[in-house]
Structure 1
């Protein structure tokens, strides 16, 4: 019931409005009447020409009266009505605020009522294990609490208590769901410290207890579905599945992929569920077979799908969530630890690999049917289908590994190379159009006269053949490996062929870099190895000249490719550099021995002569030892040049020391001549390039060809025991043998050292001119 003041105000406003309307109505009627009278008067005045001033004055007074009434009415409207209108608007605004406040209170009460109802339903559903309803009711209660918190201008003492309650109940729900989840999947895992071998995974087992299902298995257990959906509603399902997937992959799927002898068994226990356990079976396989691996992985995932994960949650099934989480890691493992080992090592096995590609397709198809995998193209299937590229990569990797192993192996084992030696190159297919082009070339050039061919000089059958020498067995195997790899490239896909070709080039680049570094110390310490390395490099360089020409018609390479010819100079320099380094070591050792001879002076002293004689014999012994080491290893011409260079070094040192002596007594001269004769007699004996002594006589007779100072030494030996006249005769006015080997100054210096200053010596010196 309205208050008295409200009624008075309402009545006052109503009366004022009624009075105003009444006045307006009366005024309107009065105006109409006046209008009629004025009209009548005008008609009478201008139509009937009846003048009536009295009537006119009355009408004027009447019009003025009406005008005053109108002015009063306007004043009333301006002053009273507008004022009442402002008051009404203010009153209405207050009423509206009051109404909105009441509406807010009613809304808050509704949220409290809905919260209370939702919590009652939540507790009831939780007791009945209806977890989906519980999760949804909890969500409803949470929404109401959030709505209460949204009113910033409203302070509700219960809001904090309600927030605490809703948090506690959420944790309670998650705890119950976690306990239920633990019952669904029970793991038995080995200790992480024991994961060192296949045997450590034999204790892994997974017990799935999902309750009863329908006979056809199409509808999952209601409790299972309720648990999974409730976890999804609470945002906990992804976490649970992620943790489960990590354990599943680490302790079950990955071991099944890695170890060929590890298998999975599925046992059904009445009223207890399904048990997945790992067992060991004997196998000789070193690497897992893709077909067996796919079968083992599908056994695990199919069991999980049937028993646990074939449950829709929102727009996805749980199996799809698990697949998204573990597929990438599992796919990488399948590629790196399974498919890699199944890639063929020989091009003839590539056709058989189609079975592996088909098995991979079937494997992925099964995963897609169960929802573990989505999408049409995966890295796993791409890897399997791209077998040609992977074959080439694996082949190249294996070739490089094998080549490096050969390069770092022992070099002492050697094989003998003869001019008849040929590389074992398999029969290559005829290039397209080869025979046709050959016939056309013969037709254009015409047949040459047989008689002309018989009269022409023929090249020796040993032209461009390697000389007799020894090379490392590992280098021969390395060359065979290169030829086998190039043979694999013939007939392969263009991409594979190019990759294999450049792998062969990389083999020789690797040899150039690895061998000199890896065997550096041995090359300097062991003359035998230095000689073998020289031969190895020359052997490789020799065959690189023609290797590209032999395979060029069969390889899909562009014009302008150098093949292997560009590498020939480098290998020749490498072999020469290695052997020259060893020669320098031998020279240094020889000169060091000769340095102990006390400059070959004062040989009339027995001690000095003994030291000098010992130094000469040590040099001869060093050369003989080298001869035995290099015999039958170096080619004959290289052997003779090397021994001649070393012997010439010793002779030069001896000649230089003798020529530097200023006074040579008769006894000194005899002993110096004895030392020279020792070298002259025993020096040729170091030229033994062949094991057969009889064949070495030829090279021993050709010592002057290889030793530049050999005749100089012989002439010096003669001078040391000759008279002045004999010396002058052998000089023969600059045309004799002495003049060929010595200069005037050298000869004069030697005469001054050998003979006393007499007239005869002076006369002899005057004859030593060119």
Structure 2
């Protein structure tokens, strides 16, 4: 009895009889035949013996009749929803049965394919079976198929790994490392010879389908790096031999005794290091060519991604040693690193890997140069900041006079005469005025000028940032000390900040033409001026607010209305003490502040006293001759403060005849009001 007769016997109806049935009869027949096909498929899954009846033929017959019924229902307009529902159920069940039968057939064929050496076909069948299993619902029969799938995949993986070990063999014999690649494998499976030879392309395809390719390529790359590339980096003169036969090729390197000048220890100059790199590139190119031509024999173009993956693995393995041993020898200092050609030998090695398709782009060598430069920059910047910190941590109480008047006085003592002084006074607005500046601030400005003058092309930005950091460090430290500074120290802090503001705009003008264009456009210190001006104003405001409060407190009864109606003894004593406080502060300001700033300070403090005195004098409406004379004598200490507005061109001159008086009303807003009250009292005398 042939297969067709057995099928007709199982189904019990011919195709002609099926077409004569009504739709409901056809649906009933399909339901019955689908159940029979399902039972047959399940039996085939559970029966592990060879030679079992393949259920795919019977399923194909049922599937053809399903298509016939589906077309007939689609053409009729009187089809009920129940019929459509029954047809959909049959279709879903039939599709599941088809997947189960195909999966079972594929899994049963794998063992046969492995027997004949068709590892590519077997691995493809396993991949297809895996996709089908993922589409099936989880039930007892799917779990049975999954067990068969696991067994078949394990058998295929074991066979592929065995063939991989035979086709790519690495041996270590004493001081000799040898790798043999066989292009075609004529092996055996279960004692039977392969009907089809296995090529390297088939092996790589099977490994990819079975998810083995990346792990094995990584192991192979690590072995090549450790036994060939790294020894050749240490000693590129090692004997390297490549031999090719008809069906195989071999690569060997012998670790014989090295010459004294053939190791990394002997690389004492950058020229020797460059020559060493050239030899390493030559030897490595042979190893990489062997990998490209023989490990991927006639399939490198088809598996370019795997070749790139292996190349990245090799480079990742050798680059740390290459970077650590060669970069510092090719560029021993930043001066050598400034030469763009110093790392060319390393760049040529990396470019050889890119040309062989083992790396996507050149990235590591430029990055190594940047990291080396950054390391130098960080160390140099740390040194510069340490120097700036030592300056700011030094004693800051000492100060000295700076500015054109001080310079003119020294020139006068050297015989330059007063004419030079007059010339400098004409340009006073263009230069820094005479005042006391702390030694600390002068050292910081000298440090800034010296640091900027050291600029060289690889570290221009380093020195610019170091100077900015030094001034930023000053701004961070000074505000914490302002609250505990005395009057002199506060005035010197003000002068220091103005001294910085004088030097910052022109700090880099002399060296700026030697900078790169992008650095010239962006590197400036002008933006620091505003913060130092604010700090100078804050230092001056704090001390003046304190002195102002002290003067107001010392004025005593002058803060009370009609305090001049009774006795004047206490008012006279309070006014003398307050004026003495103003004179003391003015003396300190005259000794340390610039002339214009000193006059402004005196005018501000004078206004505090003059405002109270003017207000109290206004309360005295009518005064006789004796009363007016008494009041004028009372305010005499205040009028004597006009001597504080004398300016000297010579900072060490004590002769008042050589001092000129500044217009008091320009700096004191209350002086004219006081003079008006004095005039009123004088008219009553």
Give the alignment's TM-score, normalised by structure 1. Answer: 0.43
Kindly indicate whether structure 1 or structure 2 has the higher relative contact order, using CA contacts under 8 Å at least 6 residues apart.
2
Report which of the two structures shows the higher radius of gyration computed on alpha carbons. 1
Q: TM-score, normalised by structure 2?
A: 0.48
